[in-house]
């Protein structure tokens, strides 16, 4: 997996708000959505376009529109749902395939408990979204699930990545590109990213 840390003053500013202890659930949700919009914009920079003619007040001119494969977004339950609205803001007609994977508390290994892909996912580019790339085990499992569907153009988007998680996925999936707003320091013994955000799912859904 190749990794691109998106550096932009707006993202850095919003990430610092996201990390603060005094950020409310409402603000946290809004920030996750806003940063997801920026990251999606960057992740889709390589989309193909082609020229076509449009009628304007100056008569016909050449303009460009997106061509090639359409997109499926795959949020990983549950925290990936926090990013979905942001992604769909940028690409409103994307299909959404949902996967549920949780980490076993002891082994930190991913357990798949839900999968519903759109029927034509194999003919689409895939954007997997999950705010925290920690051990990388869940992301790796989902990459393998979409590869099983014969998807070939796969990108991953997260807010915070840990070096251990990136390394874990790089070994087997160097064809996948990861876009992230931060590459943090390390994982602690419980598999949390340090400094990270804490439990992103709990913060998005207000469950703690």
List residues binding ligand URA (CB under 6 A). 79, 132, 134, 191-193, 196, 199-201
| Smallest distance from ligand URA to CB 143, Å | 17
* Rounded least distance, CB 130 to ligand URA, Å: 9
Nearest distance, CB of residue 202 and ligand URA, angstroms: 7
User: Residue 97 or 165: which CB sits closer to ligand URA?
Assistant: 165
Contact 141, 110 (CB under 8 A): yes
Distance (Å, rounded) from C-alpha 183 to C-alpha 6?
Answer: 10
Q: Which is nearer to ligand URA, 163 or 191 (CB)?
A: 191
Q: Rounded distance, CA 101 to CA 130, Å?
A: 11
Smallest separation (angstroms) from ligand URA to the CB of 135? 8
Return the number of the residue (14 or 124) whose C-beta is nearest ligand URA.
14
CB of 77 to ligand URA, least distance (A): 12
CA distance 196 to 74: 22
Kindly state the smallest distance separating residue 187's Cβ from ligand URA, in Å: 8
With respect to ligand URA, which residue has the nearer C-beta, 97 or 110? 110
Q: Of the two residues 98 and 161, which places its CB atom closer to ligand URA in the complex?
A: 161
Nearer to ligand URA, 19 or 70 (CB): 19
């Amino acid at each position: 997996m190749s990794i691109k840390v998106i550096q932009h003053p707006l993202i850095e500013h919003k990430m610092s708000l996201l990390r603060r202890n005094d950020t409310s659930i409402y603000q946290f949700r809004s920030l996750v959505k806003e940063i997801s919009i920026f990251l999606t914009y960057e992740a889709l920079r390589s989309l193909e376009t082609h020229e076509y003619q449009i009628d304007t007040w100056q008569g016909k001119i050449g303009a460009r529109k997106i061509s090639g494969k359409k997109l499926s977004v795959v949020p990983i339950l549950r925290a990936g749902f926090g990013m979905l609205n942001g992604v769909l803001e940028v690409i409103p007609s994307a299909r959404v395939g949902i996967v549920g994977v949780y980490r076993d508390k002891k082994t930190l290994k991913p357990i798949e408990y839900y999968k519903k892909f759109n029927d034509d996912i194999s003919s689409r580019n895939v954007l997997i979204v999950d705010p925290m790339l920690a051990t990388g085990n869940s992301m790796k499992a989902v990459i393998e699930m979409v590869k099983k569907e014969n998807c070939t153009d796969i990108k991953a988007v997260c807010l915070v990545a840990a070096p251990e998680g990136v390394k874990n996925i790089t070994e087997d999936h160097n064809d996948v590109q990861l876009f992230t707003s931060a590459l943090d320091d390390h994982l602690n013994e419980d598999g949390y990213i340090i400094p990270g955000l804490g439990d992103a799912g709990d913060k998005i859904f207000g469950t703690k």
